[in-house]
A = this chain, B = another copy of it.
Amino acid sequence: MKIVNPYDNSVLGEITLSDAQGALEKVADAKKAESVMRKLSAFQRSSILKEIVKGIQENFDELVFILSKESGKPYMYAKGEVERAMETFTIAAEECKRLPHEAFDLDGSQRGEGRRGEYRYFPAGLVFGISPFNFPLNLAVHKIAPALAAGCPIILKPSSKTPLTMELLNSIIQKTALPEGGFTLIHCSREVGEELIQHSEIKVLSFTGSPSVGWKMKSMAGKKKVVLELGGNAAAIVCEDSDYSNALDQLITGSFAYSGQVCIHTQRIYVHQDVVDQFKKDFVARAQQFTVGNPISPSTNFSVMIDEHNAKRVESWVNEAVGAGAQVVLGGKREGAYYPPTILTAVPANAKVRNEEVFGPVVMIESYHSFEEVLKEVNDSRWGLQASIFTDSVAKLNQAFEVLEVGGLLHNLATTFRVDEMPYGGIKDSGFGREGVKYAMMDYLEGKLLVR
């Protein structure tokens, strides 16, 4: 299977898909690593993870380039992603020494007099991770690093659009002291993938990708633990009392970084009616300042989408909204796989660009009157990943945190804010479980109680 650069359609490389037979062999080999991985000390796991960090450091430029090329992600963001992958592995190298074992008395119950408990965490077993195209490296690493830190072998299937970054990471990992079978990269069709999802020797399934696929997997996963990191239509609220220029900075990035192909892309901006006009004007001005070009150029900060298919999909959604009354404030004209920064307003309540995950450089700006009303508006969504609020009011911040149905609320930050140690994940249709190294590890561990 050929992998192409979405910017110029040049061929970057090839991968071979595993057939069912090959996939099952990989599972069998990885399964054998379970007992070997389980016996690694924290020191050994930590050393291996640090070796990977060193390997990434040594292949830094190459990783950035291949990542940028196969995903169309501007160089500056690709660089940031490789740095974050190093940080994610580093956090894992630290967390693996800090498993949250518990020791407690059981003599609070009369029947437990003289008894105490120890609750220790052990590796849960073989993990199957599936990662998406939009962060070809770090969203895979968010599965690999905690799995290895927990002492679990992992099989990782990257997006078939962006497998080359993972090929390079794989070669880095295989050079470390990681036991054979500790990490397995697989490329395969959806059908073969579904066999793995149902495979009884796999104990944990961790998926980042589209909601319809994810929720279906949960039903097929049998006895596995399942983690789903899906999408959303993240909203930001800009209050009349907020730091205006910070809100602009944050939301320009949140709306358009990597053409909005980010799970926590800012899709909806609600601005208080007293400031909405000025905000919209300034926002448009800022959105016109992107340096558009070849992603591989260091100065580029906006480029093509992952493929023309997706650009067309975004185009059709915008057209649908416009047909129903939405106004295009900026952008809206597709050229091949390129879709420009696009700002809509007066978007109807039932438009796809409002309700579905647009996963493209489109944001709507609407005004609101009362704070209670805007909280309801944000919650009027089947998604619940992250949301932002820009305000200096303690009361509003508290109320938003209490009321908003999301996995994470960002104060005075873009919806796209994420550091790799924080708990991350969605509620409602946006996901199941949490990633972030320490939190992800809990899904790759199984508690065992000793009563003495």
Give me the interface of A with B, judged by CB distance under 8 Å. Answer: 41-43, 46, 87, 94, 96-99, 101-120, 215, 218-220, 222-223, 225, 391-395, 397-398, 401, 406-413, 417, 419-424, 427, 429, 432, 434, 446-452
> In the complex, which residues of chain B have a beta carbon less than 8 angstroms from the beta carbon of A397?
394, 452
Bound-state CA distance A43–B393 (Å) is 27
The answer to whether B46 touches A108 (Cβ under 8 A) is yes
Cβ-neighbour of A107 out of B43, B119, B410 (below 8 A):
B43
The answer to whether B447 touches A434 (Cβ under 8 A) is yes
Bound-state CA distance A197–B373 (Å) is 33
Bound-state CA distance A99–B41 (Å) is 25
Bound-state CA distance A67–B118 (Å) is 33
Question: Which residue on chain B has the smallest CB distance to residue A388?
Answer: B451
Shortest CB-to-CB span from A122 to chain B, Å, is: 8
Shortest CB-to-CB span from A115 to chain B, Å, is: 8
The answer to whether A43 touches B109 (Cβ under 8 A) is yes
Where chain A touches its partner, the secondary structure class is mixed
Shortest CB-to-CB span from A305 to chain B, Å, is: 25
Cβ-neighbour of A421 out of B108, B110, B423, B448 (below 8 A):
B108
The answer to whether A107 touches B408 (Cβ under 8 A) is no
Bound-state CA distance A43–B115 (Å) is 12
Beyond A87-B109, A103-B103, A427-B448, 10 additional contacts (C-beta under 8 Å) are: A215-B223, A223-B429, A393-B393, A394-B397, A394-B411, A409-B448, A409-B449, A411-B451, A412-B452, A424-B449
The answer to whether A419 touches B109 (Cβ under 8 A) is yes
Question: Which residue on chain B has the smallest CB distance to residue A101?
Answer: B103
Number of copies: 4
The answer to whether A423 touches B451 (Cβ under 8 A) is no
Cβ-neighbour of A448 out of B96, B219, B401 (below 8 A):
B401
The answer to whether B107 touches A448 (Cβ under 8 A) is no
Q: Can you name 23 A-B pairs with beta carbons within 8 Å?
A: A42-B107, A43-B108, A43-B113, A94-B94, A99-B105, A102-B103, A103-B118, A108-B419, A109-B421, A111-B419, A112-B422, A118-B118, A219-B219, A392-B393, A392-B395, A397-B452, A401-B448, A408-B451, A409-B449, A409-B451, A410-B451, A411-B450, A411-B452
Interface centre among A110, A114, A446 (most CB of B within 10 A): A110
Q: Which 10 A-B pairs have the closest CB atoms?
A: A97-B108, A103-B103, A101-B103, A41-B107, A408-B449, A109-B419, A42-B108, A112-B419, A41-B113, A94-B94
Question: Which residue on chain B has the smallest CB distance to residue A243?
Answer: B395
Shortest CB-to-CB span from A202 to chain B, Å, is: 14
Shortest CB-to-CB span from A451 to chain B, Å, is: 5
Shortest CB-to-CB span from A183 to chain B, Å, is: 21
The answer to whether B42 touches A422 (Cβ under 8 A) is no
Bound-state CA distance A423–B407 (Å) is 26
Shortest CB-to-CB span from A405 to chain B, Å, is: 9
> In the complex, which residues of chain B have a beta carbon less than 8 angstroms from the beta carbon of A106?
419, 421-422
Cβ-neighbour of A417 out of B42, B87, B108, B451 (below 8 A):
B451
The answer to whether B427 touches A446 (Cβ under 8 A) is yes
Question: Which residue on chain B has the smallest CB distance to residue A99?
Answer: B105
> In the complex, which residues of chain B have a beta carbon less than 8 angstroms from the beta carbon of A449?
407-409, 422-424
Bound-state CA distance A420–B109 (Å) is 8
Bound-state CA distance A406–B447 (Å) is 9
Bound-state CA distance A101–B106 (Å) is 12
> In the complex, which residues of chain B have a beta carbon less than 8 angstroms from the beta carbon of A101?
103-105, 116
The answer to whether A422 touches B117 (Cβ under 8 A) is yes
Cβ-neighbour of A219 out of B107, B222, B451 (below 8 A):
B222
Bound-state CA distance A410–B406 (Å) is 28
Question: Which residue on chain B has the smallest CB distance to residue A109?
Answer: B419
